[in-house]
């Protein structure tokens, strides 16, 4: 009788575990098919972000660094959606992003949502850390990421009227609303032809990394090279929201660059 009770108890335990596993499977994030025309693209933190016309809707997709052109038709591995995602590589918050292992004809990569999110947020040692997932690999057409430029490297302040350091621009941003500013610094990142303008990140060794006041975002029709030390003249604006995750507390618009 005792053996029968034990046997029944084991059967009940196995049934409960099976039900829990089935419930967990039901809550697993659903992979989203991805295929369509590239509307916008940018690289940041060693990854490529693509605004894709995926069927009837436009979606942002993040993949390992890959050469992608506006107008190109892409077929990507199914991905997982994450909402309110902040990319440290781009210093930008997205309402939602779908994370994919890359091109559909590339080598398959096992990537859980938590592992991919950690990698894109720049968490040390995140690659392959979650659930034994493999680190994402670039597709065969991937271009090497440019060598990183130190944000702490000092650059001499611009001279003349309306000249400021980046730290001064952030500190005085409210007073400088819609006023001309001149700033000298080093170009650390360039994203081309997004919303008909180029987006440039500038540093001069001032400001606070913790407070995110060490990196100034600038829009322009000019196209400086990463690593160049330049003098920038433009108009400062506060609290701009372009939609699709483009939100900036401080932004210098319609700028002109000169070495």
Please say whether the dihedral angle defined by the alpha carbons of residues 229, 235, 241 and 244, taken in this order, is positive or negative: negative
Q: What is the pLDDT of residue 130?
A: 32
Length of the chain: 259
Q: What is the pLDDT of residue 67?
A: 82
Q: What is the pLDDT of residue 245?
A: 62
Q: What is the pLDDT of residue 3?
A: 52
Q: What is the pLDDT of residue 89?
A: 73
* Structural domains of the chain, ranges and CATH numbers in brackets: 32-120 (2.40.50), 163-258 (2.40.50.140)
What is the chain's pLDDT, residue by residue, as a tens digit (259 residues)?
555 434 444 444 444 445 455 544 445 567 889 999 999 998 876 678 899 998 889 999 988 878 888 999 988 888 888 888 888 778 888 898 888 888 886 544 444 455 455 544 443 333 333 333 333 444 444 444 445 556 678 999 999 999 999 999 999 999 999 999 999 999 998 888 777 788 899 999 999 989 999 999 999 999 999 899 999 999 999 998 766 567 889 999 999 999 8
Question: What tokens appear for 258 in the block?
Answer: 């000169």
Residues 6+ apart with CB under 8 A from 153: 186, 203, 205
Q: What is the 3-state secondary structure (H, E, C) of the chain?
A: CHHHHHHHHHHHHHHHHHHHHHHHHHHCCCCEEEEEEEEEEEEECCEEEEEEEECCEEEEEEEECCCCCCCCEEEEEEEEEEEEEEECCCCEEEEEEEECCCECCCCCCCCCHHHHHHHHCCCCCCCCCCCCCCCCCCCCCCCCCCCCCCCCCCCCCCCCCCEECHHHHHHCCCCCCCCEEEEEEEEEEEEEEECCEEEEEEECCCCCCCCCCCCEEEEECCCCCCCCEEEEEEEEEEEEEEECCEEEEEEEEEEEEEC
Instruction: Report yes or no on whether pTM surpasses 0.75.
Output: no
Rg of the chain in Å (alpha carbons): 23
- CB–CB of 47/117 below 8 Å? no
Residues 6+ apart with CB under 8 A from 208: 167, 214
């Amino acid at each position: 009788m005792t053996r029968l009770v034990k046997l029944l108890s084991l059967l009940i335990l196995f049934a409960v575990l099976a039900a829990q596993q089935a419930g967990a499977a039901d809550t697993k994030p659903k992979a989203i098919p991805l295929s369509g025309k590239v509307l916008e693209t940018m690289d940041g933190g060693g990854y490529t972000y693509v605004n894709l016309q995926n069927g009837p809707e436009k979606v942002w997709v993040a993949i390992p660094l890959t050469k992608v052109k506006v107008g190109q038709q892409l077929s990507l591995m199914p991905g997982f959606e994450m909402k309110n995602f902040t990319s440290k590589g781009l210093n930008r918050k997205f309402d939602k992003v779908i994370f994919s292992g890359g091109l559909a004809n590339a080598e398959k990569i096992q990537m859980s949502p938590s592992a991919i999110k950690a990698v894109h947020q720049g968490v040390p040692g995140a690659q392959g850390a979650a659930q034994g997932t493999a680190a994402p690999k670039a597709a065969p057409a991937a271009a090497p990421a440019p060598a990183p430029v130190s944000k702490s490297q000092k650059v001499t302040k611009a001279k003349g009227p309306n000249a400021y350091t980046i730290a001064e621009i952030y500190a005085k941003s409210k007073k400088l609303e819609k006023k001309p500013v001149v700033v000298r610094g080093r170009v650390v990142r360039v994203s081309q032809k997004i919303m008909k303008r180029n987006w440039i990140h500038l540093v001069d060794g001032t400001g606070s990394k913790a407070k995110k006041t060490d990196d100034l975002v600038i829009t322009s029709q000019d196209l400086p090279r990463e690593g160049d030390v330049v003098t920038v003249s433009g108009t400062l604006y506060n609290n701009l929201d372009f939609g699709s995750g483009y939100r900036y507390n401080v932004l210098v618009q319609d700028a002109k660059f000169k070495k």
